[in-house]
A and B are shown apart, each in its own frame.
Chain A
Amino acid sequence: MSQDVERLHLSARSLRVERGGRAIVTDVSFELASGEALLVLGRNGAGKSTLLRALAGFLPLRGGEMVFTGGDAPLSERAHYVGHADGLKSALTALENLSFWASMLGAAKTCPDGKLSPQQALEKVGLARIGDFPVGYLSAGQKRRVALARLFVAARPVWILDEPATALDVGSQDRFAQAMIEHRASGGMILAATHAPLGLVDARELRLDAAASAARACPSTAGAC
């Protein structure tokens, strides 16, 4: 399995995504390999979330092609998605929510080992003591941390994150930045849309701008963007 993780590659060429018949994302191309991260930047309404939702498989691609190499499973079965909605049931406790997603998302044979138990995952996001609390009683930031703990209960090599740091306090942001570094070091890849700095070093940047629809990807370290 570890060999599979090492040769992940995601390549997108002139992607086009529509919503309700309107083109939201046009002509987006990028390349991403194991251990790399892609920051999707752009103003409100530029299509960041739409692009990430299309990559996760929720929206159909209306043009271009996306090739994901690494194992037999499609990208959506090897990726985690954390979006605006937390995917948590407020009537269930944090541990029940996490155990459920662990068995739903981690069931596939395509998922390598190295996942944490729900309790360990909660410890990792600093919520060890609220595990048996119904999620409905938690604050927005705590809910977001439970949602992020989902990344650790099922080992999937690609993380698709849409504004992951929303409502997180500084300590949690640091902890999450550390987790992202570990994830990349172990051969995973990260695609994130954000306005706030996430603490990703050496991330590629993809600017989505309606005015300059010819979005291009280049390493931020080169300073060409």
Chain B
Amino acid sequence: MSSPLLALFRREARIARSIGGGGAMGVVFFLILVSLTPFAIGPDLNLLSRIGPAILWIAALLATLLGLDRLFQADADDGSLDLFMMTSTPLELVVLVKCAAHWTLTALPLVAAAPLLGLMLGLEPEAQAGVAASLLAGTPALTLLGAIGAALTAGLRRGGLLMAVLILPLTTPVLIFGVSTAAAASGGTVPFHTPFLILCALSLATIAGAPFAAAAALRAREG
């Protein structure tokens, strides 16, 4: 990683850790969402352990999207985005590094917290490991899909909701294969690696494609 990109990663990390940066908000939101579910559904452990992976995945999906609307909006507001366009670093790489920083600071804690919360939902150890593995493989796709929405709404004042409306339908395949990976880990008719590899492929495809879409949206923001 060359030094401008490293500097960008460090800056993003420092902003996310500062007050109001929202770095820890995602994991706290995840925690609250998952702990509320047993209150809503009731203390039926069999039911909870059956739908546990799905609850964890939906909570992770919402928690990932939570901070993403500010991914480019903050930079658009304070003029940093203009300056990114004047660097010799391609805007696509800037997008990718910002997504990598966002993923490291918000999605990675979710992956670490998921097995613990799985315990609350009565998941078997295999299912807990399956959920963590599927989140690790699938959350990059969520972050990068969200980055497209964040780029499209970067110029809007209250773009957060619009971004969620734009992006949530696109996350359907990730959700389907994420939950089926987690389910396959705790037994089932499908071997674990089949949905897991598709999930990895989805993440790799968005890593390859989404930065171009997001950068194009950022360039077309004005004019």
- Which A residues fall within an 8 A CB radius of B? 17-19, 53, 56-60, 73, 76-77, 79-81, 83-92, 96, 99-101, 103-105, 107-108, 110
Also in contact, A86 and B78, with CB within 8 A (given A18-B223, A101-B83)? yes
Q: Are B78 and A85 in contact (CB under 8 A)?
A: yes
User: Once the chains bind, are A96 and B14 in contact (CB under 8 Å)?
Assistant: yes
How many A-B contacts if CB must be within 8 Å?
89
Identify the closest chain A residue to B8 (Cβ). Answer: A104
Q: Are B88 and A73 in contact (CB under 8 A)?
A: yes
Pairs A–B under 8 Å by Cβ, sample size 6: A19-B222, A77-B88, A80-B86, A91-B15, A91-B19, A107-B3
Query: A58 near B82 (CB under 8 angstroms)?
Result: yes
B74 (CB) vs chain A CBs: closest residue: A89
Chain A residues with CB under 8 A of B21: 91
- Bound CA span A83–B83, Å: 10
Interface size, chain B (Cβ < 8 Å): 27
Give the interface centre of B15, B82, B83 by most chain A CB atoms within 10 Å: B83
Bound together, the chains give a CA A105 to CA B85 distance in angstroms of 10
Given contacts A91-B18, A104-B4, 15 further A-B contacts (CB under 8 A): A17-B223, A58-B85, A59-B223, A80-B86, A81-B83, A86-B78, A89-B11, A89-B78, A91-B19, A92-B14, A100-B7, A103-B3, A105-B87, A107-B2, A107-B4
State whether the Cβ of B79 lies closer than 8 Å to any Cβ in chain A. Answer: yes
Q: Are B87 and A83 in contact (CB under 8 A)?
A: no
Contacts of B19 in A (CB 8 A): 91
When C-beta atoms are compared, the residue in chain B nearest to A100 turns out to be B11
Q: Kindly list chain A residues whose C-beta atoms are within 8 Å of the C-beta of B77.
A: 85
Known contacts A91-B15, A91-B18, A92-B14; decide if A104 and B89 are in contact (CB<8 Å).
Answer: yes
Task: List B residues 190-215 near A (Cβ within 8 Å).
Answer: none
Residues of chain B contacted by A83 (CB below 8 angstroms): 79, 82
Q: Which 4 residue pairs spanning A and B have beta carbons closest together?
A: A85-B79, A108-B88, A91-B18, A87-B79
Determine the chain A residues whose CB is within 8 A of the CB of B3 once the complex forms. Answer: 103, 107
CA of A57 to CA of B82, assembled, Å: 9
Is there an interface contact between A91 and B14, defined as CB atoms closer than 8 Å?
yes
Give the CA-CA distance A132 to B85 in the complex, in Å.
27
